[in-house]
Structure 1
Amino acid sequence: MTLYFGTYTKRASEGIYAVDFNTETGELSNRRLVATEPNPTYLAFSNDHFLYTVGAEDSQGGLAAFTPSLEPINHAVEEGAPHCYVSVDDKRQLVYGANYHKGQVLVYKRLENGGLALADCQQHEGSGPHPNQASAHVHFADLTPDNYLVTCDLGLDEVVTYTVSDQGKLAPLARYQATPGAGPRHITFHPTAKIAYLICELNSTIEVLIYDGLGEFELMQTISTLPSDYTDFNGTAAIRLSSDGKFLYGSNRGHDSIAVYKVLGDASLELVEIVPSLGKTPRDFILSPDNRFVIVAHQDSDNVSVFHRDSETGKLANLSSDFIVPEAVAITFA
């Protein structure tokens, strides 16, 4: 099986890397550069294996499109910083982008050749109480289980849901106000319960939300991602749920760890353990398709850690931490 890594290209990286992953042993091998692109920090595959990544061209920022053989198709870019998130809507043949620096949610139409053309853009406005919240900072744009678009705005402490037309036009549907200064970053949904889990970057918490299936959220629980005695800097990053919905995982940058939670009968969370990630700045991590392994990418130490996951307890046991992928910030399977 092949893993794909999105990266920054500020130091040693040249773009997007592929790595072989042994699904029996968890071993990583054969890193190779598969696409040259400036700072392709997030990436997503369509069902027909086209690749869409954060991209830049001629000092403009946006998204880049690649064929299944990873040949470049086109860039959909505008003035300003590149995006920070990309997701694919296979049903509507759309691709979504979130722009942190500009505070925008963007929709692109997939063209016949797999390329991208801008279909709509929603501008968020406002600010929050934290020093990092001087303006809107959209960090996430992806689909709910019922095909609304859900966005996390770190700058406004808001989760905003939109309806999406088949042509890619957005209409605001609902807003959830997170804890002031929390900085919502990413959200994931329980596979069977009407529950979502919102990881908040600025106050290192996860908010457990009741989801009504119509775009509305209500707070049920807030739980920390850190040990109670930790007082140094931390910013959370990725959040993942096991496919059976029994365990939730979140990454801490600063504390450099993975927080492990048990999902209780009412879908609330109970902390199981906080495990060192064995690298600096665990920006992203994923569970293998069979959920036996957790693979963690470190942005600042350039190493990838692999953990074996106990399906009964949710606990993680390290297998390796010495495989190098430079400046890695995102991981996905094709």
Structure 2
Amino acid sequence: MNEIQGNKKNEWMIYTGSYAEKTSTGIHLFKLNVKEKKLDLVEKYTGIENPSFLVINKAQTHLYAVSEVEYGMVVSYAINRQSEQIRELNRKSTNGMAPCYVSLSENESCLYISNYGGTVTRIELQEDGTLGEHTTTNEHVGSGVWADRQDAPHAHSIVPVPNSSVVVAADLGTDKIYVYDDKDFANLAKMSTIPGSGPRHFAFHPTLPIMYVIQELSNTIAVFELNDQHIPDSLLGVVTTLPDDYKEENTAADLHISEDGQFLYASNRGHDSIATYKVAESGIPEIIAFTHTEGKGPRNFELIDEEKVLIAANEQSDSLVLFEINKEGIPTFTGNTISLSKPVCVQAIARNQE
């Protein structure tokens, strides 16, 4: 989530990625009016196939989208700060198959991309925000215990650890967390997760040296402690993303933590819910509620903590759904749903209202 400094804003711009053919609409731009609890379509964009994950820089001048295809691509866009509309600048290969995640380095000098085919790539950025020529790719090796899902490496996300020179990558196929140096992209360490867990996405506690990893195959969240070098070196605990009595098929997907560190949220595909956790002073989360996402397959969601708003992208039911966060920290349905074909990523920026 990106913010504009200053007073609380009532209007936000929402960019969504989806699974779509190149000639179909892949990226949408919506306006969110918090007071009216309403999403309105502003613009839609073609020209990129399967833009399954997006990231926006802090200055809100550039948006980057991966194209999750066999021979993966990443596309850079300029954001017009008057209209908030985007314009393509350039595109490059991700040096891998099926890129499914993109993030910016701490100093925003490069992009990090996870290719589900089993590699992670670093691409330097030019001063004008375009994709540069220098690219480094690291290949993961190994497999896991699930024959159908872990027959090979499957890098699912890669992010910088906040306020550090460390980058972590979750590999669902090998049940490992890879740790890289953000300067030369050298591998510093590998942390094993519980076999068959399938690590997917990360969240970091804002004040404690704790990293949360949602695990797709075991429907759990692993809680790791970071050492003085910001490297995960010990497992503090594992919590479920599901009710105890739920026995149907499910795959955990996304997670986000509130800015004050008091609440953690996770999405379930199958149970089709947002799980809400109260985070203890130790950093260990405790489940307090499940909220139905009013659709199927919530692959990704955005937490706009400043406005106490959550937006869920229900891939399997083609809907974008708006929730309010109540005083107990629990998402509640606002009644606002937008029909949208296969949404899989939501990114929000505050609109500057002078």
TM category, shorter? over 0.9
Alpha-carbon distance in structure 2 between the residues aligned to 1:20 and 1:12: 24
Q: 2: CA distance between counterparts of 1:210 and 1:87?
A: 22
Residue 320 of structure 1 pairs with residue 352 of structure 2: no
Cα deviation per residue 1:129-167 (whole Å; 9 max; x = unaligned)? Answer: 0120000000011110113111100011111111121xx
TM-score (norm 2): 0.88
1:212 aligns with 2:223: no
Hey, what does 2:157 align to over in structure 1? Answer: 140
User: Of the candidates 333, 336, 345, which is equivalent to residue 330 of structure 1?
Assistant: 345
Which residue of 1 is the match for residue 50 of structure 2? Answer: 39
Q: Output the CA distance in 2 between the equivalents of 1:23 and 1:282.
A: 21
Query: Residue by residue, what CA displacement relative to the aligned partner does 1:288-326 show, whole Å, maximum 9, x if unpaired?
Result: 141411111111111111111124x21121102521222
Kept in 2, the 8 Å contact 1:12–1:327? The answer is no
Whole-angstrom distance in 2 between the partners of 1:80 and 1:105: 8
Q: 1:290 maps to which residue?
A: 306
The alignment's TM-score, normalised by the length of structure 1, stands at 0.93
Q: Is residue 54 from structure 1 mapped to residue 69 from structure 2 by the alignment?
A: no
Describe the SS at the equivalent of 2:274. strand
Unaligned runs of 5+ in 1: none
2:107 is the counterpart of 1:107: no
2:28 aligned partner: 17
Give the direction of change, closer, same or farther, for the CA distance of 1:98–1:213 in structure 2 (3 Å limit): farther
Task: Quote the residue 1:170 is aligned against.
Answer: 185
After superposition, residues 76-115 of structure 1 pair within 5 angstroms as 76-77=92-93, 81-89=97-105, 91=107, 93-101=109-117, 103-115=118-130
CA distance in 2, matches of 1:90, 1:68: 20
Cα RMSD of the aligned pairs, angstroms, is: 1.9
CA contact (8 A) 1:17 1:35 kept: no
Equivalent residue number for residue 201 of structure 1: 216
The size of the alignment, in residue pairs, is 328
SS at match of 1:290: helix
Matches within 5 A, 1:133-282: 133-145=150-162, 146-165=164-183, 169-214=184-229, 215-282=231-298
SS of equivalent to 1:226: coil
Instruction: Percent identity, please.
Output: 32
The C-alpha deviation readout for 1:169-193, integer Å capped at 9, x for no partner, is: 3111122111100000001100001
State yes or no: 1:120 paired with 2:131: no
Equivalent AA in structure 1 for residue 286 of structure 2: E
Distance 1:80 1:222, change over 3 A: closer
Q: For 1:299 and 1:11, locate their aligned partners in 2 and report how far apart those are by CA, in whole Å.
A: 18
Evaluate the alpha carbon distance shift between residue 291 and residue 222 of structure 1 in structure 2; reply closer, same or farther with a 3 A threshold. farther
Kindly tell me: are residues 12 and 251 of structure 1, through their superposed partners in 2, closer, same or farther at Cα, counting changes over 3 Å? farther
8-17 or 121-130: which moved more?
8-17
**1:36: Cα distance to partner?**
3.2
Q: In the alignment, which of 3, 11, 14 is matched to residue 3 of structure 1?
A: 14
Tell me the distance in 1 between the aligned counterparts of 2:87 and 2:22: 24
**Contact 2:302–2:311 (CA<8 Å) still a contact in 1?**
yes
